[in-house]
Amino acid sequence: MILNVLRRNTGDVARYALCICKRSPKTVSNSSRSFHQGRSNKTGSCRVSISAVNLNLTRSKQLLSFETDLCKASQRSFRTSNALWDDVRTVVVPPFADSITEGDVRWGKVVGATVVEDEVIANIETDKTSIPVPSPGAGIIEELLVADGTTVKPGTPLFKIKITGGGGKKADAPAAAKAAPSAAPPPPPPPEPKPAAATTPIPSTPPPPPPRPSEPKASVPAAAVKPQPAAAPPRAPAPPPPKGVDITTKITGSRTEQRVKMNRMRQRIAERLKEAQNTNAMLTTFNEVDMSNIVELRKTHGEAFAKKHNFKLSFMSPFVKACAYALVDAPVVNAVIEGQDIVYRDYVDISVAVATPKGLVVPVMRNCENMNYVDVERGMAQLAEKARKNQLAIEDMDGGTFTISNGGVFGSMFGTPIINPPQSAILGMHGIFERPVVVKGQIVIRPMMYVALTYDHRLIDGREAVTFLRKIKSAVEDPRTILLDL
């Protein structure tokens, strides 16, 4: 059908062009005023007609070529491939931050485990944080290319996964762990009682007397006989700890020892703390804070605060705001020694120490001098959420000009914190306990908290440290002093 249409269209075009050529001389002769003008017009008309014919013929050839290709394509056989869903992918170590070059692998899955897309297969423990390695898709883990605890660098192949494309559920535990313990063998049957021995006949004659000894035996006095100690039974070796019990979190009493490699984060924490002791001339000053006004503030406005902002008003925001206020007033506490120079910063970035199962981390809140209580609580809520999900990045913990450590959440009453290098001071908060105190000559019961400021005595003098801590005390006990800039 397509060929017939093309032939019909081609004939129409040819006839149309012929009519134009036949009609052109008459039109030219009637309208021409000179021979040259008429000759020119005639030639132009014929050229236009011939061009139109050539253009339509070219298009017809293109349509015929397209029809031929279409017929050939219809005779081909198409074949699909299932490699899209059943391909095996090799996952490599993701890139690290500029300050990190390597890390240790900690596997969370085993070979044969079924995983879903974005499920964490392993974690790369580095000096500062733990980097998760998610699954690129739903599938089954086919091979682990490195052993647990191996030190790897970015780009190192980690594992192979077969992408199945299904939305399978997360694997609960290794097959070996979830296999039920085999039933205990039944106790052996009790032994059958032996039949009673047959009775023997009573002899008729008495037995012969025993022979007498030829010489009497020498008697030994009882005092000369030394008692022989009973041989102690051999001590059985201590049984190994039961399977599935983590000796690092539970003591079973099996009297065994297990050597566990220290993770990189703990190694880095140990190095930095020891570096702080070896470098800084640390000195600690103490004070106590009456928390009555803050406790009353939370009781009065805590519910409305949480309803409006969707997070609670904690005891940290008054201290963060008070520290930022005091640091602006005492720039030397916010400074740091670098070589033979003192570096003063005109911004306040406060690090808040957070305890995690893998170690102590100190995420940073930036520009705290411009924050109020709401901003502080919002920033801490975001950092706490990241810490719980193990999503803290290097950028979240980089920098910091001052640190606050709150041991009071664990019930600590008193302690001396260690400076977080390269900073010059750290504030230690402790638990709130009711104690008798003297107020205007009267003994009253107040909720009190001990606070400790550890500072680098190479840079900060005692007068400046004590004045700084007293300013924090004043700002927490009466936040109105911040509003009045007192």
Query: Which residues have a catalytic role annotated?
Result: 457, 461
Rounded alpha-carbon distances, angstroms, from residue 318 to 1, 315, 374, 429, 472: 87, 6, 10, 12, 9
| Type of residue found at 250 | K
End-to-end Cα, the chain, rounded Å: 97
Q: Indicate if the alpha-carbon torsion angle 126, 132, 136, 140 is positive or negative.
A: positive
Within 13 Å of residue 125, how many CA atoms lie on the same side as its CB? Answer: 20
Rounded alpha-carbon distances, angstroms, from residue 172 to 113, 391, 463: 9, 22, 59
Helix (H) or strand (E) holding 178: helix 175-178
Two tokens, residue 307: 């309803």
d(CA 368, CA 317): 10
Rounded alpha-carbon distances, angstroms, from residue 309 to 91, 305, 414: 41, 6, 33
Contact assessment for residue 143 and residue 159, using Cβ atoms and an 8 Å cutoff? yes
d(CA 250, CA 242): 11
Neighbours of 318 (CB within 10 A): 24
Contact assessment for residue 85 and residue 165, using Cβ atoms and an 8 Å cutoff? yes
Q: What is the DSSP letter of 78?
A: -
Two tokens, residue 417: 């914190």
Q: What is the DSSP letter of 146?
A: S
d(CA 141, CA 112): 5
Of the candidates 360, 351, 353, 358, the residue with the CA atom closest to the CA atom of residue 398: 351
Q: What is the DSSP letter of 99?
A: T
Contact assessment for residue 289 and residue 448, using Cβ atoms and an 8 Å cutoff? yes
Of the candidates 125, 5, 137, 110, the residue with the CA atom closest to the CA atom of residue 60: 5
- In DSSP terms, 253 is beta-bridged to none
Rounded alpha-carbon distances, angstroms, from residue 395 to 16, 364, 398, 465: 77, 9, 5, 30
Q: Which residues contact 273 (CB under 8 A, 6 or more apart)?
A: 418
Q: What is the DSSP letter of 82?
A: S
